[in-house]
Amino acid sequence: METTKIKWPEWPQYTESANNNLLEVFKSNRWALSGYWTGDQPMVQKFSKKFAEYCDVSYCVPTTSGSMALMLALEALDIGEGDEVIVPALTWIATATAVLNVNALPVLVDVEEETYCMNPEKIREAITDRTKAIIPVHLFGCMANMDMIMEIANEHGLYVIEDVAQSHGSKWNGKYAGTLGHIGAFSCQQGKVLTSGEGGIIITNDQYIYQKLEQLRADSRVMTETPLRHGDMQLVMKGDFQGSNHCISEFQAAILLAQLERLDFLNSIREKNADFLNRELSKIPGIVTMKKFSQIDRQTYYGYVFKFNHSEHMDAQRLAEILRQRLNMGTFYLYPPYLPIHKNPLFCPWTKNRYPKNIRMNEEYWREQNFPVAESAFANSIVLHHAILLAEPHQLNMIVDTVADVFGR
Ligand SMILES: *Cc1c(COP(=O)(O)O)cnc(C)c1O
């Protein structure tokens, strides 16, 4: 096979419309929310409105990253010292470090074999009288079982913050991901399906939470809606809640606004191609694809995951390298899933002095936890980045043929 010439789609992608928005900001004298009124609504405000409309939700607060979106969400719910928050063992480390960063303890639970998202039964077992919230993550190309998670949360009076960093545009039972719980926290980092290089978004239907989030993000200030003179500051003093500066710039919002126009179009191509891969890869002996709950109306793919029969001769690291070689892909495009939080070298809270001792714990406390499903994912699954799902049909066929070849169809 002549694979050295294959070129895979790039991500993120340039668009004329983002370019125009960017220039508009550059030429204006308003580069930040904390800048002065120049006669036009700032891009951050335009984007907030558009994204809230898109998600069919009342309120939207953009912020600097997905990590910060999670942390501000926790702060808005008054979660802090002495509290516990339940998070999945398999996710990007930010889901757990956000909890530590508000001085609360992340309590890890295992994920489901068929989705790699939080196992609701394990949530039940992890609840104590210190539990305040659950953070389900919609991981790679699956959604967590939100019906069961909300049922458990309501039973125990717990908040639910959805980590929707990988799931802009997924829909469950007619509702957008991020609006099923109390707060949704998105990331807009470079690899995500809606991106401005770095960035994050928080959404909620709760007015009190929104008002608090606004101040937490902008040094206890809020945006005024009243008509302004040229040169007036649009962020005005408030001070009900101690905030800090976590605002995105106008340049980031300019890009997000343009990217949002293409989100549904790209999501639908990715979903169609994921369905194709599910159909074709599951015909190969030893390959298992992931489950799509019947409640899902639309599935966003941040990553496309498949599992394989692993052995001492073939684990995910090895298979990933073989496939990258044969398909001429860099490590961005194809990789094993995350190491689970408790085994991930990037997760090392005992090294941070400012954490209270009862959340910092020690290395043994974290490393010796045990989550068999999350641990097996790293050995027996492969993730294809969503850029691959924008490839041509013959390229997708090549992926299927190459996997079939490795596993001896
Ligand atoms: C990317 C990501 C985050 C963190 O987002 P940043 O914008 O990189 O801070 C959190 N959770 C999950 C599941 C992610 O994929």
The pLDDT tens digits of the residues spanning 215-248 come to 999 999 999 978 789 999 999 999 999 999 999 9
- Going by the DSSP 8-state scheme, the letter that residue 219 receives in this structure is T
Q: 273 and 218: one domain?
A: no
Mean pLDDT of 269-295: 97
Cα–Cα dist 212/196, whole Å: 25
Q: 334 and 236: one domain?
A: no
Question: From the CA of 228, how far away is ligand 1's center (Å)?
Answer: 36
Question: Measured from the CB, is residue 92 less than 6 Å from ligand 1?
Answer: yes
- State residue 11's pLDDT score: 98
Q: 335 and 209: one domain?
A: no
Question: From the CA of 66, how far away is ligand 1's center (Å)?
Answer: 5
Question: Is residue 49's pLDDT more than 60?
Answer: yes
Question: Is residue 113's pLDDT more than 90?
Answer: yes
- State residue 313's pLDDT score: 87
Cα–Cα dist 140/125, whole Å: 25
Q: Which atom of ligand 1 is nearest to the CA of 188?
A: 7
Mean pLDDT of 253-271: 98
Question: From the CA of 393, how far away is ligand 1's center (Å)?
Answer: 30
Q: 231 and 340: one domain?
A: no
CATH number where 166 lies: 3.40.640.10
Cβ atoms of residues 55 and 184 within 8 Å? yes
- State residue 3's pLDDT score: 53
Q: Rounded to the nearest 5°, which phi and psi values hold at 12?
A: -80, 175
Cα–Cα dist 226/235, whole Å: 11
Q: Rounded to the nearest 5°, which phi and psi values hold at 42?
A: -65, 155
Question: From the CA of 309, how far away is ligand 1's center (Å)?
Answer: 29
Q: Which atom of ligand 1 is nearest to the CA of 166?
A: 15
Question: From the CA of 29, how far away is ligand 1's center (Å)?
Answer: 31
Which of 187, 344, 385 to mutate for ligand 1's pocket (most ligand atoms within 8 Å of CB)? 187
Q: 187 and 277: one domain?
A: no
Q: 179 and 87: one domain?
A: yes
Q: What is the mean pLDDT of the chain?
A: 97
Q: Which atom of ligand 1 is nearest to the CA of 98?
A: 10
Prior bond to 12 cis, omega within 30? yes
Q: 250 and 322: one domain?
A: no
Q: 205 and 216: one domain?
A: yes
Q: Give the domain extent around 161.
A: 16-261
CA angle 146, 153, 109 (to 5 degrees): 75
Mean pLDDT lowest among 71-85, 203-217, 225-239, 348-362: 225-239
- State residue 2's pLDDT score: 53
Cα–Cα dist 409/401, whole Å: 9
Q: pTM higher than 0.75 for the full model?
A: yes
Q: 55 and 202: one domain?
A: yes
Q: Rounded to the nearest 5°, which phi and psi values hold at 122?
A: -70, -25
Residue with the nearest Cα to atom 3 of ligand 1?
66
Q: 295 and 239: one domain?
A: no
Question: Measured from the CB, is residue 88 less than 6 Å from ligand 1?
Answer: no
Question: Measured from the CB, is residue 72 less than 6 Å from ligand 1?
Answer: no
Select from 307, 369, 380 the least CA-distant residue to 341: 369
- State residue 85's pLDDT score: 99
Q: 169 and 44: one domain?
A: yes
Q: What is the pLDDT of residues 154-206, one digit of tens each?
A: 999 999 999 999 999 999 999 999 999 999 999 999 999 999 999 999 999 99
Q: What is the pLDDT of residues 19-46, one digit of tens each?
A: 999 999 999 999 999 999 999 999 999 9
Question: From the CA of 225, how far away is ligand 1's center (Å)?
Answer: 31
Q: Which atom of ligand 1 is nearest to the CA of 139?
A: 13
- State residue 311's pLDDT score: 85
Question: Measured from the CB, is residue 166 less than 6 Å from ligand 1?
Answer: yes
Confidence of residue 409 (pLDDT cuts 50, 70, 90): low
Domain limit, last residue, from 244, 261, 278: 261
Domain limit, last residue, from 261, 277, 304: 261
Residue with the nearest Cα to atom 15 of ligand 1?
165
Q: What is the number of domains present in the chain?
A: 2
- State residue 221's pLDDT score: 98
CATH number where 363 lies: 3.90.1150.10
Question: From the CA of 234, how far away is ligand 1's center (Å)?
Answer: 30
- State residue 4's pLDDT score: 56
Residues 6+ apart with CB under 8 A from 184: 55, 57, 161, 162, 164, 176, 177, 178, 202, 203, 204
Domain limit, last residue, from 195, 230, 261: 261
Phi-psi region of 282 (alpha: psi -120 to 50; beta: other; left: phi over 0): alpha
Question: From the CA of 38, how far away is ligand 1's center (Å)?
Answer: 34
- State residue 137's pLDDT score: 98
Mean pLDDT lowest among 51-60, 137-146, 310-319, 341-350: 310-319
Residue with the nearest Cα to atom 5 of ligand 1?
66
Q: 319 and 170: one domain?
A: no
